[in-house]
Amino acid sequence: MKIGLFNINMHCCAEPEAMGRVAVAAEQAGFDSVWTGEHVVLPEPQVPPSPVPASTPMLDPAVALSYIAAVTQRVQLGTGIIILPQRNPLVLAKELASVDVVSNGRLIFGIGVGYLDKEFEALGITMDDRANRSLEYMEAMRAIWEMDNPEYHGAYVDFAGVEAHPRPIQARVPMVMGGHSAPAFRRSVTHSQGWYGFALDQDGTRACIDGLAKAGARYERPADLGELEISVTPRKRCTPELVEEFAEMGVDRLILLPRGDTVDDWLAFVDDIGSTVINA
């Protein structure tokens, strides 16, 4: 079981020195990856389903991961997630290719389609077509990263006769689709190397894995995507017993939420997971 750490760009880790300390500690403790969250803006006052107060500090994922790349050596750098339909795909492709280059090929590109009306409204982007827009953006980013003569012609993205260098170090940057819905399962099967389920208990995880299996039976998975890697952020405190239970379900990675409010709390959490779970 791989063990990742979430929130590396948020809360107390929105302060650079603290973010670097926690990332280095996670790498030394044996975590395989650190993951950012994202909301460009949040509703004020907070109303459901907004996940945190609007005053919550949250660094841009590409900026945070570039900083972490400079102070670490092996830990993978995941966006968990970037709200793709809110971004220009070619600008984002340049930003993330840059992260992959400065990290020597450690990027994991986690993707979501978004769910906050107020956020989309503030950015001047409709939510109505966010799923189809996201799929085109994924395909367009693959094209600019991987094609010898990049071009893409779709309803939302149309380009040819351009290139963007440097390209990612990785021959294929892994894309991971977030979401607990049937459409998210379909996008995971048809377009992504991985799927990410957030804040799930065991029953919720089983239901999502069943949904992924049903999507896999219904939709063709391109051979070059390989086997679907499953990552989950569990609701419960992580123990060796919980790891074993999730592993038996077919989960490949647990991405843990650190406990506490201060950087010292988070460092203690990382140390505890390293000694009781990763290196037990």
Confidence band of 58 (pLDDT split at 50, 70, 90): very high
Write the pLDDT tens digit of every residue in 19-35: 999 999 999 999 999 99
Residue 79: beta bridge partners? 36
Statement: residue 280 has pLDDT above 90: no
State the Rg of the chain over Cα. Answer: 18
Distance, CA of 258 to chain centre: 16
pLDDT at 160 over 90: yes
User: How large is the greatest C-alpha to C-alpha distance in the chain, in angstroms?
Assistant: 54
Residue type, 181: S
Q: What is the pLDDT of residues 191-243, one digit of tens each?
A: 999 999 999 999 999 999 999 999 999 999 999 999 999 999 999 999 999 99
Average per-residue pLDDT for the chain: 97
> What are the DSSP calls for 58-118, one per residue?
B--HHHHHHHHHHH-SS-EEEES-EEGGGS-HHHHHHHHHHHHHHTTS-EEEEEE----HH
111 close to 178: Cβ distance less than 8 angstroms: yes
Residues 114-154 have pLDDT tens digits of 999 999 999 999 999 999 999 999 999 999 999 999 999 99
Question: Could you please report the per-residue DSSP string of 188-205?
Answer: HHHH-SEEEEEEE-HHHH
pLDDT at 41: 98
Q: Residues of the chain with pLDDT > 70: what percent?
A: 100
The whole-model pTM stands at 0.97
Question: Residue range 61-77: average pLDDT?
Answer: 98
β-strands 151-153, 158-160: how paired?
Answer: antiparallel
- In the block, tokens 């919720």 appear at 204
What top-level class would CATH report for the domain 2-278? alpha beta
pLDDT confidence band for 91 (50 / 70 / 90): very high
**For residue 152, what are its two tokens?**
């893409």
